[in-house]
Amino acid sequence: MAKLNQLILLENMMRTYDAMNIKDANLTHFQGVCIEKLVDVIIGRLQRLVASKVRISCRNVLLANYETMTKTTYWLGCRLFSDLPQAESRVLREKVEQMVELLNELVLKIVNVDEEYAKRFFERIKRAYRKRRITDFELWKAQQSHLTRERLKDYQVNLTADTLIKGIMEYDAPPKTWEEKAVDMERLREHMDENKELPKNFKKECAKLRRYSYWEGDMFFIDYEKLRKILFQHFGELTHEQHIAMFEYDVQLKQIHEEMRRMEKEEMCAEGEMEEEMKEARKGLKEAVKKAINIMWAEGVLQHKYDHTWIMMTMNEEEGLPNFATPTEYLDYMEGCGVRDRLPDRSIVSKYYDKARGTFPNWTFTDAKDKEETRRNNVGKRFLNLVQRA
């Protein structure tokens, strides 16, 4: 890619003139003519670049120091303008001002690059840099005996930190104080390698990246719609190593997200299978409860409707069985099990529940002793035995 070498040459010629301290008028005139001709060449090239529809050529200006070169005072500070005759100086000054105006138009054209073009540009560059078939992440993943979501989160943070340390955000605007405060270094450190050394400006670089990033659950994303323009503007200033770091980061981040999604899908499948198993278990339990109630009526273990009180109390005290906060919940559950005959009223269950004391299987009762007390405890024992056998 050709550079605007003429700009650099023009800058060197003016600086050299200032350093030489020329007193000869003829030599000054000669220098003025040479510089004017060079400015004419630059103006012609800038006009073609501004008019060009091939936007890639517009990036050439970035290879010059346009932050200073787009200021008229930067050029007019040369002593040549005061040494030349007034007429010659005025002509050269007007041409330099035209050159600066064109430079600013070109910079504006670069800054206002559309997102779609920037996206295509980076995709082309990424294909050129992306020569390795196996990434560091793939090698790391292959070495993990037990890959977990937490380890993926750790790798994601370390990868992002390593990329920032290489200076890919160097040319973005310095962060404000409130932006730095928003960076949670303590939380980041929790996921970083213990021996990782961070540069003094690391928090500032994190603050810059936060402008162009967001989280979705555990996954960290770069908002390339925002970041591309900044990177495009300064792409020529980034080193070859920074280019590689930037594109390798993009590839590995996507691989991390793919692995996280795969894990999430497996977890959802496992949860679905577990839910199905629990549904079958609940269905089986209801069938076992219904069968136990019918057997107990047939055996004579259940003698009164209020004996359901002892079944409710047994279920509430036994781990692994449904619990009921109220008699209504219990009666609704029994109906759900298909037990509809000889169910007591809610008030009857509440009345007898209040008469019980102690814990299963050693209840005592304020209205019963001896054989009746034993019988009521046996209702709970027999129900539990039948359900557990089922």
For residue range 201-226, list pLDDT tens digits in order: 999 999 999 999 999 999 999 987 77
Start-to-end CA distance of the chain, whole Å, equals 81
In a 3-state reduction of DSSP, which class is residue 357? strand
pLDDT band for 57, please (50, 70, 90 cuts): very low
How far is C-alpha 381 from the chain's CA centre?
A: 56
- Return the pLDDT at 340: 86
Residue 313: pLDDT band with limits 50, 70, 90: very high
pLDDT range class, residue 58, cuts 50, 70, 90: very low
- Supply the pLDDT for residue 275: 80
User: Taking 90 as the threshold, does the pLDDT of residue 380 lie above it?
Assistant: yes
Q: Give the pLDDT of residue 1.
A: 38
> Chain-wide mean pLDDT for the chain?
87
Task: Using alpha carbons, select from 75, 93, 74 the residue that is nearest to residue 84.
Answer: 93
Q: What pLDDT is stored for residue 118 in this prediction?
A: 64
What are 104-156's pLDDT values in tens digits?
Answer: 888 777 666 666 666 666 676 666 655 657 889 999 999 998 999 999 999 99
Report d(CA 126, CA 149) in Å as an integer.
28
How many other CB atoms are there within 10 angstroms of residue 223's CB atom? 11
> Measured between alpha carbons, how far is residue 72 from residues 13, 93, 103, 270 in Å?
16, 9, 10, 68
Provide the pLDDT for residue 277.
Answer: 81
Residue 35 has pLDDT above 60, yes or no: yes
Instruction: Express each pLDDT in 325-343 by its tens digit.
Output: 999 999 999 999 999 889 9
More confident residue, 181 or 1: 181
Query: Mean pLDDT, to the nearest integer, of 294-301?
Result: 94
pLDDT at 70 over 90: no
